[in-house]
Structure 1
Amino acid sequence: MFAQKIISWLEQLEDPRNPLLGPNIKILFLFGIWQTGDTKLRNKLFNIIHVSTAFFVLSQFIDLYKQRNDFNKALNNLSLTSIGLICCTKCFSYVLRQPQWQKLAANISEEELIQIKFGNEKVIKKMEQYKLYARVVSYLYWGLVLMTNVVLIGTPMLKLLISETYRQNIKNGKEEYPQIMSCWFPFDYNKMPGFVYSSVVQIFMALQGSGVLAGHDANAISIMTFMKGQMQILKEKCANIFEVKENEDPKEVLNRIKECCRHHSFLLQQSELFESLLSPVMFLYLMICSMAICCSVVQFSSDEATATQKLWAVQYTIAQIAQLFLFCWHGNEVFTESIVVDQGVYASDWWRGDLRQRRLVLLLAGKLNRPILYTAGPFSNLTVPTFISIMKGSYSFFTLFSQMQEAN
């Protein structure tokens, strides 16, 4: 019964106007970073929330500075502050560059609707395959973000609820009230009712931030999946250029060549637009993620860290590695597919064409020989080697820290 309700809810996210990106757009709209012209009041309210989120992250940096002498608390705060900074960056990336994101989504949906209307069985089958893949990855990623959020909110509250000794120590002034996220408030949040007010704000910010994170990342991964799937479709189109049917007009071969050129130009245009939107955000994300993973590993290995802090460090590290891997893996998949798409031309019966057709096919092969490589700023590429390099760097940092602890 519960599973059926979840499936029913997920089916409601589908949008026939956006065959691939329907659920992603609805999640982005739910958390206020996909804004339409007919919801101006709603947009203003969410923009106030987004600005408030930025001030909340600033308060986390203030608290981080205050806790600079407490190593474990500072590490815990740093991991949470980095999440807040990443969420703010991704949030404002959508809000400030809303026309570009909407144009990209509209172009992708329009291309898919045209292909569905054309009715080619092989193309529709390939579209269904990458659509299903995008759904599975998106839903699993949303589940991971939800689980991380539950651990973040539930762990400190669970300690307060189940430990009578802890509650008594709070009453006696020996312990402080547990905070979901380390941040600064202009009131005393270690006493009632300040603790309740701060908890409500922190829970709301955690839910909003996780929603923004889940929506942004799942949408980006779905777009990468679209690029990969469409290049596979283009490769198949190229292989079928000289597939002559009975009583077919000879000009149909030229039409297929034109369609392959148009399709490839479309993919290049959308990739360049997507790259311009994603690259600055991923540049900041890779730097913060590398630092955050190192800090989490150090915190977990520290003898002074509490069980709660170690639990959070494990969950946070897993989530960060999974998030980083998804971006690098799918970026690598797009790159790999882009460098073999021209093989479709050589797999065709090009030798059956006349001189003009063979010249055009040769030009098409040269046009297709253009790799698509997504970057994270000017220094890193979203590829599997980049992911491995970050993991190696984190392990080297952990090894160095362990040796320093043994020496002391």
Structure 2
Amino acid sequence: MIRDFLNRFEDPKMPLLAPNYWLLRKSGLILSERPLYKYLYLASHLFGLYFIISEYVDLISSLSEIDLVISNLMITMMSQMCFLKAHSCVYWQKEWKEIIRYVTEADKFERDNSDDTKSKIIDKYTTYSRKITYGYWCIVFSTVVSVCAAPLVHLIPTPSKKRIPRNETELFTPIFGSWMPFDQYRPPGSWITAIWHISICAYGGTGMAAYDSTTIVIMGFFECKLELLRQRCKEMLGSNDKGVSDEDADIVIRQLHDIHMKVLKYMRLFNSVFSPLMFLYMFNSTLMICTCAYQLTVITNAAQRLLLGEYLGFGIAQLFFICWHSNKVLIKMDSLSYGTFESSWYTSTPLQRQYILFLCGQLRIKHVFTAGPFTNLTLSTFITILKGAYSYYMLLRK
């Protein structure tokens, strides 16, 4: 049953990115060609902008209460990143479509020109991308549910709670700290606020799931492409130690050179739309992890701690996934030139060896994904962010 449900997201025209592209379109990050849907999605993004502004208005108005500021800042940072991811994708719409087009065409090329060894590599990465995509969607969904349910935890009856007198009513606790032009703590304003906040949470969660899962799968594609390119370099002079003619070697090495140049071109294009956002994300993640850890130490309710722990785990996992896959691409790129040494270069002619030397020079050109112009996206960066968040946390504790 679950497999049949997941098969609905598949598309033979996009063997790798089908589920990701489906959610990108449904969340409005890739705008529809139909004018009505296009403007409806643009309106939803503008509502998201209004919500971020209302959060900062509420945050400024509560500066005198440090605990409330820390609690609101934790949610505001995550909301801001959801908004920025959606708007950056809309702003760089042309570039994102070009990247998706290249990934789809390059993926089809590899599938149509593969042997048993390459097919195993492609199948391995396709299966992994599906696990990452659906697993990440589940994590985002559980986080959205926990965020929406957090204000309701205090309603759970416990023996230690005092009864509320019949002539009094308990005030509604909003999901987010945001300014509203009416009383959001009593009906009917509380009902409108609850519906508004749940809608915004669903909008932000859907956009984040679409953006993050797509970027991770695209990184996985580059990793797969580099591994396949190394395999092609290994086979460029044949696999039977008999060698190939100069004409065949020239054709194959030119093709490998062209593949590597295209991979570098689209890695740089992907980094150009991804890197500015990651710079802001690194800063926001440090504050979000710090404030969330601080909240865990001051909250006494066990259920609220559980929900907050899930939120903290999601923030750390989100950052780890991106740094981990970026680091894996860098490792594959470092080992790419090994493919030429694993080939039957010893059977080549003097002219073919010149071609191989030119190819080795090309394969030494590397590219690493970055977070702005300041740092590379690697595991060491992830550890540095955790250390920074811990330092800020200790500062708050004191």
User: In structure 2, how many angstroms separate the alpha carbons of the residues matched to 1:339 and 1:293?
Assistant: 32
> What SS does structure 2 have at the residue aligned with 1:86?
helix
Give CA deviations for 1:306-363 in whole Å, capped at 9, x if unaligned: 5565344322211110000001101100111101100000111112111111001011
Q: Any idea what SS the aligned residue of 2:238 has?
A: coil
1:267 equivalenced with 2:263 (yes/no): yes
Structure 1 counterpart SS, 2:233:
helix
Displacement after TM superposition at 1:168 (Å): 3.9
Separation in 2, partners of 1:379, 1:338: 21
Query: How far did residue 265 of structure 1 move?
Result: 0.9
- CA distance, structure 2, for counterparts of residue 297 and residue 273 of structure 1: 36
Task: Return the alpha-carbon distance in structure 2 between the equivalents of residues 170 and 317 of structure 1.
Answer: 38
Equivalent residue letter for 2:281: Y
How far does the alpha carbon of each residue in 1:116-173 deviate from its partner, in whole angstroms, 9 at most, with x for none?
A: 2224332222111111111111111111111111111123235447579789469615
Matched, 1:313 2:303: no
Matching of residue 369 in structure 1 with residue 364 in structure 2: yes
Equivalent position SS for 1:142: helix
Q: Percent identity?
A: 29
Contact 1:170–1:177 under 8 Å retained in 2: no
Match of 2:206 in 1: 211
Unaligned 5+ residue runs, structure 1? none
Query: SS at 1:35's partner residue?
Result: coil
Instruction: Please say if residues 72 and 305 of structure 1, whose CA atoms lie closer than 8 Å, have aligned partners that are also in contact.
Output: no
1:238 to 233, 256, 259: 233
Name the residue aligned to 1:282: 278
CA contact (8 A) 1:24 1:219 kept: yes
Q: Which of 317, 321, 329 lines up with 1:326 in the alignment?
A: 321
Change (3 A) 1:186 1:170: farther
Unaligned 5+ residue runs, structure 2?
A: none
**TM-superposed deviation, 1:114:** 1.9
Mark the CA change 1:169 to 1:395 in structure 2 (over 3 Å): closer, same or farther: farther
Given candidates 3, 9, 15, the residue that maps to 2:11 is 15
Matched, 1:55 2:54: no
Partner of 2:98, secondary structure, is: helix
Aligned length: 396
1:244: Cα distance to partner?
A: 5.6
- 2:347 maps to amino acid: R
Change in 2 beyond 3 A, CA 1:371/1:314: same
The residue number in structure 1 matching 2:289 is 293
Name the counterpart of 1:40.
35
- Cα 1:296/1:240, change in 2 over 3 Å: same
Query: Counterpart in 1 of 2:142?
Result: 147
Residues in 1 aligned to 2:382 and 2:315: alpha-carbon distance in whole angstroms? 11
User: d(CA) in 2 for partners of 1:166 and 1:73?
Assistant: 24
Task: Give, in whole Å, the separation in 1 of the partners of 2:166 and 2:376.
Answer: 49
Mapped to 1, the partners of 2:356 and 2:167 lie a distance apart of 80
1:199 aligns with 2:202: no
1:74 offset after TM fit, Å? 1.6
Give me the CA root mean square deviation: 2.1
Pairwise mapping of residues 128-147 of structure 1 onto structure 2 (< 5 A)? 128-147=123-142
